[in-house]
Amino acid sequence: MQTQTTTLLIIGGGPGGYVAAIRAAQLGIATVLVEGEQLGGACLNVGCIPSKALIHVAEEFARAQHYAGDSPLGIKVTAPTLDLAQTVRWKDGVVARLTGGVAALLKKNGVQVVKGWARIIDGKTVEVSPADASAPLCINCEHLLLATGSRSTALPNLPFSEPGGPVISSTEALSPATLPQRLLVVGAGYIGLELGFVYRKLGVAVTVVEAQPRILPAYDEELTKPVAAALIQLGIDVHLGCTVQGLNAAGNAVRIRNAAGEEAELAADRVLVAVGRQPRTTGWGLEQLLLDMAGRFVKIDDQCRTSMRNVWAIGDLTGEPMLAHRAMAQGEMVAEIIAGKRRHFTPAAIPAVCFTDPEIVVVGQTPQEAEQAGLDCIHALFPFAANGRSLTLEASSGFVRVVARRDNHLIVGWQAVGRGVSELCTAFSHSIEMGACLEDIAGTIHAHPTLGEAVQEAALRALGHAVHI
């Protein structure tokens, strides 16, 4: 067995791991990154990027179908068709370009990438089984960073099928060889609904089953109402307050049970289980470290230190919010701390975006969360129905809402639902991180006509003098 030594060893080449590796190398730290699959992790390969690519395809296809009917814009086209194989090739091309870019950046900055599967021996030693089946490699390190990410959660009574089977995770849903006639989605969280919208816009009959009494249960109900309306408009069948019991004997339907105990069968050619994700804590020797845990997650402090000296953990492995941009920020911080800089992970707010139709953005506290935290706050919303840019985009549903303290008008939260609102989250995050007050946003000139004007108008309305409503 070959042996080598490095200052920093990172297990996992997802957004958190590769960002940490690049930043560490920039700071002159000898760094080795171990990744068993593809650089970029779940986000780049089977999550954020491919899902947004398919969302774009679905939107363009639905728009073409819209123009094949009676469009008020005066645009007429013939009925569109979909070349699914080409769609998947294009999506894969986007992913390949980005993963290739990550590899190039790691090489440019002098990070040693080891393709293989890591197994922890102790807090200073990791054994790697190379992907090419060559001799195992033993790596000794001063600092060990755990960035193993997460995987789709399966249901005991509806386990994922073997390749080609009817029960799939989001990974298989993002690379379909064919489209089913009927797709049943288990889970009305953001993953299930994003993919549900995609498949419906591509012509598939979609049914959604959710155990909670409403869709997107992690989001403010007022924000989800426009999404619920869009589901109805698209003809997506939603069963709320229902639990899945498993496939029927023939394997062509899913048995569900409502709160009253009544059972029914919902026909489906394919079943997408999207009930969340769980941290990757098994299969690579984590138990050897005997780390303190926070439930199913690795427990960390505000510097991403674990209970073992010089062992760090970031990203989905460490709990909610399980978001790529959180992992990236943590990874960068850990690299800088190892390099001797003074850093703590104390963001004022971490944006969360749901790429449904319409999109949802949440940054900071909602009115309900502010009240629960004991804050006396005011809040106001500005509807996109009163925004000129929204009307020119044929997208007038939704709103922007601001939450601010009553005493000093310090902004503590922003929420928005509507077409393209994901692009507003940077402004929301900036205002909270920089300690902006309502007057700061209200007094800033916003370009006309843009969706961003709704941000200013929400602040103006909270101050009692909105102009356009």
Sheet holding 352-354, edge to edge: 352-354, 359-364, 411-418, 399-405, 377-383
Residue type, 438: L
Residue for token digits 């209970």? Answer: 307
Token pair of 98 as six digits: 């980005």
Which tokens hold the place of 151? 């995987």
Q: How far is CA 436 from CA 292, 380, 389, 412, 443, in A?
A: 38, 16, 25, 9, 11
Query: Residue 318: what are its φ and ψ, rounded to 5°?
Result: -105, 5
Sign, CA dihedral 102-108-111-115, equals: positive
Widest pairwise Cα distance in the chain: 72
Q: Which residue type does 419 have?
A: R
- Reference 182, options 263, 266, 67; nearest CA is 266
| CA distance from start to end of the chain | 72
**Residue 404: half-sphere exposure toward Cβ, Cα within 13 Å:** 27
Point out which residues pair with 280 in neighbouring strands: none
- How far apart, in whole angstroms, are the C-alpha atoms of residue 143 and residue 334? 10
Q: Please give the positions annotated as active site.
A: 448
DSSP 8-state secondary structure symbol assigned to residue 384: G
Q: How far is CA 365 from CA 244, 359, 418, in A?
A: 33, 18, 19
DSSP class of 355: -
SS3 435: coil
Query: How far is residue 61 CA from its own chain's centroid?
Result: 23
Partnered with residue 403 across adjacent β-strands are 379, 413
